[in-house]
Amino acid sequence: MVERNLSVFTAERLRLLESAVVNSYDSIVITDAGSPTSPRPRIVFVNEAFTRLSGYTADEAIGRSPAILQGPESDPGEVARMRAALARGDVFTAELINYRKDGAPFHVEARIMPIRDEHGRVSYWVGVQRDITARKQAVAEREKLEARLREKQKLESLGVLAGGVAHDFNNLLTIILGNASLARLDARNPAAIEQNLRYIEAAAVRAAELCRQMLAYSGKGRYLVRPVDLNAILCESADLVRSAAARGRAVQLELDASLAAIRADASQLQQVAMNLLLNAAEATEPGSGSITLTTRMQTLSAERLTRAHLGAELPAGNYVVLEIADNGCGIAAEIIERIFDPFFTTKFTGRGLGLAAVLGIVRAHQGAIEVESQPGQGATFRLFFPACAAPANAVPAAAPAAPLSGRGRTLLVADDEQLLRETVRDLLQHLGFCVYAAADGAEAVELFREHHATIDAVVLDLSMPRLDGAAALEAMRAIDPGCRVILMSGFSEDEAVQQFAGCGAARFIQKPFSMDSLLALLTVVIDSR
């Protein structure tokens, strides 16, 4: 802030000061402080840099309001803040958008300072503006380039994902179509047809597993979340790996007996453990390979979590740590950031969603992953899960229900996919059920209205034309509040339940499903009447 009166300067100093102001690289504008008759400040001096920057000559600017520099994109909030600072006699600093005489915008770093007289009153304002337009344009251009790069990387990732899914599904469909053709050619050979059907069924199960992995990768898999004992899950997984893939490799467990429970889906955690254990087994050599599973409690700082995958938004606190370490070939530094990409692999075989699915499951459980590895020195994966105060509860196995007889039972099946609808209908009829089939929600409601007195249960698809599953179910409840319904969908159960909130649906089955699974649900639903 300029506090001294200019009268104390000698003529020589004033000449030097004038030369510095006139020749300054930065734009300098001096305004008066206004008067009772003209309260708004008026420009009394501008230097050559102001003329170059703004396009106004000194004669055009002097006597006018500095507001001539404002325009349509000038921030009204900053303008208001500037006026408030000037009213208080304070120094004001900000980045502003100003406008040239020809209307072109430019960016400046502005600093406005008061000059006070011998009584302390503001008599003039000195405004210094540095042109930062080139810097702003460079930042904007860099952000555009980064956005284009992110878009390119996203498209590349989607391309890899789509290509990988198409590759795997086309292989599976080739198996299914090929064996269907063989079954037709071997129509008189029951043994050969049986083998064909086994191959078709195995391919369909693999396709369903691929769909589940894709849902896990997106964090939208089907979860039954409850407090679980991670140690128990690891013991079971380690036994499976020992018997299946770890021959000649030592699998050691160092488990903390006082480990807290975590809120998780036990089957999904087992998938995580199996994927990481199988990867570790593949990375090690038979006879000398060693895999160690360690669990412990650890208090993690926000800084530590930020360095982990998915950990940037997790709070500091107590976490259950699962560590899987091996002494295998390790991971090269140039690919370690890509190991969670779908269908990325350094091997010709083994393409898929293994580690990508692991990442998705950990994301859905509000956890994080830390990876350490060097070529030739093995790899260590650490998974962090929020500790749960509640104890882990074992879920008792449900007693198997007696097989349901379809004889004398009537069902309504609604699905807009003709082949699926007719397949389910034919299978249920083969089991003795009387089946009404509807191609959409509206037809399902009409059939239910006509036959609801004899319908024992409804198998209802979530996504259908005319009336979707939610609207159809609501209409059926209006006809018979006690109707029994099984929802079926290719979406996860959580997404289906959200769409059917308040409808009181009885059960849910996710596509694809086996007829045994559907029959088991029908047994529960119909016998609960």
Q: Minimal CA–CA distance to 278: which of 314, 328, 217? A: 328
Tell me the β-bridge partners of 95: 109
Cα gap 121→135, rounded to integer Å: 37
Residue 240, phi-psi category: left (phi > 0), alpha (psi -120 to 50), beta (remainder) = alpha
**Helix, strand, coil in percent for the chain, rounding step 5:** 45, 20, 35
Q: 445: part of which helix (H) or strand (E)? A: helix 441-451
**pLDDT, position 251:** 84
475-494: average pLDDT: 83
- Domain architecture of the chain: domains with CATH: 6-131 (3.30.450.20), 139-217 (no CATH), 226-386 (3.30.565.10), 410-527 (3.40.50.2300)
Cα gap 175→353, rounded to integer Å: 20
pLDDT greater than 60 at residue 343: yes
**pLDDT, position 462:** 84
pLDDT greater than 50 at residue 213: yes
**pLDDT, position 87:** 84
pLDDT greater than 80 at residue 459: yes
Cα gap 87→514, rounded to integer Å: 78
**pLDDT, position 2:** 45
- Chain-centroid distance, C-alpha 358: 14
pLDDT greater than 50 at residue 348: no
The structure's pTM equals: 0.50
DSSP E strand boundaries for 34-74: 43-46
510-527 b/e (C-beta count within 10 Å ≥ 16 → b): beeeeeeebbbbbbebbe
Identify the residue with better confidence: 338 or 362.
Answer: 362
Average of per-residue pLDDT values in the chain: 81
**pLDDT, position 289:** 84
Please give the angle made by the CA atoms of 418, 424 and 425, to the nearest 5 degrees: 85
**pLDDT, position 215:** 66
For the ranges 116-130, 267-281, 394-408, the maximum mean pLDDT occurs at 116-130
Cα gap 277→291, rounded to integer Å: 8
**pLDDT, position 3:** 44
**pLDDT, position 1:** 43
pLDDT greater than 80 at residue 165: no
Residues 256-275 pLDDT 10s: 988 999 988 887 888 888 88
**pLDDT, position 39:** 67
Cα gap 512→458, rounded to integer Å: 18
The CA-atom distances, in angstroms, between 152 and each of 217, 336, 389 are 20, 20, 44
pLDDT greater than 50 at residue 398: no
Per the CB < 8 A criterion, the answer to whether 178 and 200 are in contact is: no
Which tokens sit at 94? 């900000």
pLDDT greater than 80 at residue 366: yes
Cα gap 381→371, rounded to integer Å: 5
44-68: average pLDDT: 90
| pLDDT class of 22 with cuts at 50, 70, 90 | confident
The neighbour count for residue 287, using CB atoms within 10 Å, is 9
pLDDT greater than 60 at residue 8: no
**pLDDT, position 161:** 62
Per the CB < 8 A criterion, the answer to whether 347 and 337 are in contact is: no
pLDDT greater than 60 at residue 167: yes
Which of 201-205, 229-233, 440-444, 493-497 has the lowest average pLDDT?
Answer: 493-497
The neighbour count for residue 3, using CB atoms within 10 Å, is 8
Identify the residue with better confidence: 397 or 110.
Answer: 110
**pLDDT, position 397:** 44
